Amino acid sequence: MRIIGLTGSIGSGKSTVARILRELGVTVLDADAFAREGSEVLREAICRRFPEACVAGELNRRRLGQLVFADPQARRDLEAILHPYVRQRMAEAAQQARERGESLIVQDIPLLFETGREGDFDGVLVVVAPTEARLRRVRARSGLSVEEFAARDASQVPQEEKLRRATWIIWNDSDLESLRARVRSWLEEVRDEARA
């Protein structure tokens, strides 16, 4: 079974590529979904470390994001709480896919390079887009300010470095149908390589 990492900078369209891959029948494991699950399972630990992001024991994810993207140590503290949980859940899901006899799984990991995970995969697919397009998408999707976008973008490995370290690249600089075509083409290439 081939396991491929999928990543991209904030607003690049990585989640859209993951959705298209699912539509094409590929199992895609989503680190963000497991992180959201983990933030509930580990809410008490997160609220102990970040009481200003919790009200009556409930986590305010937007406030937590503001805190951790403004303070590198706070971000490392949150990652130390969440990442072991996310990795365990991803490993369990990958094992289940292996047991089902799947030949390809994609792991959607926003911080793949930042956490030094590229060596864990048979290759890394990076989704890239112009900065202006990424900012526009993020503001439309989540209402982040320009400053919040810039802080989150600056907390990640620069897009140019991701390009340099990628095994494959999908450009998301056009419309959705063009992106679908590029994803299909990439998937055919990967499946052809597996058969060779």
CATH number of the domain encompassing residue 148: 3.40.50.300
Cβ neighbors of 10 (< 8 A, separation 6 or more) are 110, 134, 138, 149, 152, 153, 156
d(CA 8, CA 144): 18
pLDDT value, residue 95: 95
Domain total in the chain: 1
pLDDT value, residue 45: 96
Cβ neighbors of 65 (< 8 A, separation 6 or more) are 148, 152
pLDDT value, residue 196: 66
Cut 0.85: pTM above it: yes
pLDDT value, residue 69: 87
**Residues facing residue 127 across a β-bridge:** 8, 170
Q: 3 pLDDT exceeds 80?
A: yes
pLDDT value, residue 101: 93
Q: What is the mean pLDDT of the chain?
A: 94
Q: What is the pLDDT of residues 41-88, one digit of tens each?
A: 999 999 999 999 999 889 999 899 989 988 999 999 999 999 999 999
Mean pLDDT of 92-108: 95
pLDDT value, residue 52: 94
CA 65 to each of CA 75, 87, 92, 158, 174: distance values in angstroms, whole numbers, following the listed order: 9, 20, 27, 19, 29
Boundaries of domain holding 125: 2-195
